Every structure is written in C-alpha cells, then in structure tokens.
Chains A and B, each alone.
Chain A
C-alpha cells in the first residue's frame, strides 16, 4: 500500500535562500507525524508546500498517489486535506460557530436559487451543519462560545476553534502548525488529549511543534529539519538517541 503523503526531493527557494532543500519522507495513513527543528528550519514552509499555498521549486508531493503540483489549496481540501496556521487564520467578521460551519463548506450542496429563496432543502442542510459544528466545538472544548463573535474570543479558544474548523471538513489528514504555541501547561495538556482523540478517530495528523514533551509523547514518527534539510527521521525513540539531533537541536 502506498503512503498517504509522499514527499520526494522537495525544494523551495525564495530568491537565493533555500527554505526547504531535498526533503523526502512519507506519512502512512493513521499516523501522528511530527516535524520538528529549530526556528527557520523550514517547517512552516514545508506545511505551506504540502497544503498548496506555495508551489515547490523542485520535487514532488503525492497525496494518495496523486501529484499535487497543479492543485490549488481548495482542490487539496476537496481531497481531504485541512490545516491550521501558526498565525491563526480566523474570520473575525463571523461568529465562532460560523467559522466552524465555514469549515464544512465542501460538504454542503447549495446553489444560488435555493439560497436566495431559503428553500427547505437549504434549511435542512444548514440545521445539520450547525448541529455538526456545535458538536465539533464541544469536541475541541469551545462549546461555550457557539454564538460568540470570533473577535471577542481568547487566544487559546481561537486556537481550538481553528482545529474545529479544520475537522469540520471530515479531513483524511489534518496539518497542525504549532498548535501549542502561546498555550500554558494546562491548555497544552488538553491539546495533547485532543490530538490523541483526533488520531484515534482515524484521522492522520501532521504536526509542527516546538513543545518537545508534547511531540515525543504523541508522535508515531518524527522528521527533524535543520536549515531546510532532513537531519533525521524515525520513531521518537530513534530521534531521542540520534547523535546529530542531540547536537543540533536537543542541545545535549
């Protein structure tokens, strides 16, 4: 069986700077796969490449065997890829639950006609969508904020809201870019539980994260980047004992 995500010889240059260089790895379905590395190692660039926001300079990415080179982010979403951002991307002009309902965009069948005249089929869909969104907000722990304006929510709640929005599309793979950044210890522990729950439901999780305790605890495999290149790849155990990694990153 081929891997869910296959990356081969991936290269991304901004002018003369190679943010990502010759990176290859593969993620099996159902794994929690983390990307770690010092600041500026190219982790977020890698995520932007995988989710289609950037076009690779060289190399290729395959999602379920299909090359993603010509696909826009929204087309990748149609194929089951969803993500969150290090710099959160929440629509502040909407309520919390509307942000999550937006995440279900691809699941909704609506056209201009049913919309303009609010026909029963639309109302049925909207009701189901709202219920599912409320469920997801409960699942990530923002159940108290349903009709709160997004602009009135705390940072930690918005981070969870963004995860709920990504989950709303029923993705096959979810990319989380530094979900623990800016969270305190209690919130991070809750986040760890949440990521486990997501993985237990069979969703593949790709994670960029700085919190070593969190990463080592929940990952099936890890990719270590340094200056845009792969320094090591393997299970948490292998990474912990890899002398290169210890020297470059874990500061042993």
Chain B
C-alpha cells in the first residue's frame, strides 16, 4: 500500500531527476553549467535548512555560518594538511554537527524574534572568527581550495572526463555530480520527513503542546533538526569550496544567511520542491538583473516582504494550489 505521502515523494523525485538530467540540453557553455552547479549545491543546502524552518517551524538567520565552517574545514584540511576530500567533508560535517548541538541546545529554548537574534549572532561570530584567524583561513583575503579528489582521482572544473562513453568537460562533470548530490539530499530529507522523527518535527511546528502531551521531547527534536540542517549546510559548504576553488569569509556571512532564508520563504516553507525552485529563482535573478547589481540586497529584502504578504505559502505551493483549483473548475464544467 502506497500512502499519499509516498506517492508524492516518488513523483517529486522522478520529476526532479528528469529536470536535472534534461537540463544540459539547454545549457550551452561552461558559464551556464557553473551557474547550474552552484544552484544545485545551494539548493541542497536550502533543502536542509527547510527541515528546520519549514517543517519544525524554527528559524536560523545564521546558517551560512555552518556552510562557511564546512567550506573552511575542507579548505584548510585539503590544502594545508593534504587530506582527501571525502574525509574532510565527513569529519567537517561531524564537527559542525557537534558545534550546532552545543550551540542549539541553549538557544533553541528561545522562540520567535529571540531565536532569530540568537542564530544571527551565531552566524556573525563564525564569520568574525574566519575573518580574524588569518594564520589558518587567510583572513578577509580568503584561501584557495584544491580540486575535489577521491583516491587520487580529481574532479576539477578544468579537467576532462569520460562517463560511459560520453566526453565531458570539467563543468559538465561537476554539474552531473552536483545534480546527483541534490537528488540524494532530497531523498534523505524526504525520508526524514515521512517518518516518526519527521512527524515529531512537524508536530513541534503544528502544536508544541500536542507534541509534548503525546510524548515528544520537543527540546531534543529541535536540537536534532538543527544539527541535521547544520550538517547539510556544512557538507554543501565543503562541496562549494571545492567547486569554487577559492573561498572568502563571505561564504559564512550575513548576506548568505539571508539569501538561504529568502530561498526557503520564497519557494515555500515546508515544500522540498518549492525551496529548490526558490534557490533557482534567487540564483537566476542577479544574472537577469546584472545591471542593478548594487540593488541586490534591496531586491532580496523586497522579495522576502512581498512573498510574506502576498504568498505566505511560497511560490510553488501557491502555483500548485492555483493549478489545482483550475483543474477542479474544468472537471466541474465538464460534468
């Protein structure tokens, strides 16, 4: 018996896979591929953040901090200590998870604005540390990060590869890799949501009182989802660092945190496919409006506000509802 949730999940995953693997038909040059790769990595980060914000109803205005920690851990370990990429990513994610648990335990007692302020501060502190620890991080000048490598095999945007007989350049190979990572990230997130743990998380959002009287240890679950979303951010930060080849403390900065949150709100809190759409739209927008670059932050602010006022459910859920209504109308007219 497939329940409603499982059907939706399967449908969403298939649609996403088709889009991701059909997209190269419309990508003409390495620049397009690079943009799409960035989108996929950021989208996977936001899918993780959505677990915290959309499903458990908690906010984090400092998630770029965890993204930045992952990026820098990878950068430092691979370039200064010669670690391979996968262990750097995994150990980094575990350490960031531990940091998130230690930080999350006390601050997740807070609600609403107070939680926003506390998470904002966490992000700032991490960014400041990355800025000041020059010896390790290179300070505001940033640091180079070697190409992604596993057992001596390298994935570099400048390499060339052969996959099942297809000739791929570095940008194309990175895109495919990021697409697979995004699919896995979505699959894991869906598994988490449709489970006893996921119900407990959603109940913290739906009714915290109800959650407590049915036996959910709400404090524990809030910490858990905070840690999971931080691990998502850290792992994606690691990939981002490899892909960019160079990182600055801006990856942990306030602008990035706000960008992540805007993607969640715009795309649709609690909709995994929605937040991916949010990530795509907000990564595309600066490209389309390249002439107004200095107004970027203003635009993000305006988008956030307008979405909250006119589409509180977010872009994708609003579209889905509108389409659903029209289909019903049509069906009603024919009957």
Contacts and interface: CB of A to CB of B under 8 A. Distances in A.
Interface of A: 51, 53, 72-74, 76-78, 82-83, 85, 89-95, 98, 101-103, 105-106, 108, 110, 112, 115-118, 122, 125-127, 129-130, 147, 165-166, 168-169
Contact of A85 (B205, B206, B209): B209
A91 B215 contact: no
B78 to A, nearest CB: 26
B224 interface: yes
Nearest to B218: A74
Nearest to B198: A115
Contact of B202 (A93, A168, A169): A93
Interface stretch (B31-39, B173-181, B189-197): B189-197
Given A92-B206, A94-B206, A83 B195 contact: no
A130 B213 contact: no
Interface in B204-219: 205-207, 209-218
The interface centre, meaning the residue of A94, A122, A129 with most chain B CB atoms within 10 A of its CB, is A94
Determine chain B's interface SS by DSSP, over half rule: helix
B276 to A, nearest CB: 19
A147 B203 contact: no
A92 to B, nearest CB: 6
B200 interface: yes
A102 B214 contact: yes
A118 B191 contact: yes
A77 B213 contact: yes
Contacts of A76: 213
5 contacts: A72-B217, A77-B215, A94-B202, A94-B203, A98-B199
B4 interface: yes
A125 B210 CA distance: 22
Nearest to B57: A93
B28 interface: no
Contact of A82 (B200, B214, B218): B214
Contact of B213 (A83, A108, A116): A83
A89 B196 contact: no
Nearest to B195: A115
A125 B199 CA distance: 14
B53 to A, nearest CB: 13
Please give me the 8 A-B residue pairs with the lowest Cβ-Cβ distance, nearest first: A91-B206, A77-B215, A89-B210, A106-B215, A73-B212, A108-B196, A89-B207, A115-B195
A87 B188 CA distance: 35
Contacts of A112: 197, 224, 228
A105 B216 contact: yes
B123 interface: no
A147 B1 CA distance: 13
B199 A105 contact: yes
A168 B191 CA distance: 23
A89 B213 CA distance: 10
A178 to B, nearest CB: 16
B197 A115 contact: yes
B188 A116 contact: yes
Given A85-B209, A115-B192, A147-B3, A110 B215 contact: no
Given A116-B192, A130-B3, A90 B215 contact: no
Contacts of A116: 188, 191-192
B206 A106 contact: no
Contacts of A122: 195
A169 B214 contact: yes
A94 B212 contact: no
A102 B200 contact: yes
Contacts of A117: 191
Contacts of B202: 91, 93-94, 98
A98 B211 CA distance: 12
B316 to A, nearest CB: 16
A63 to B, nearest CB: 14
B274 interface: no
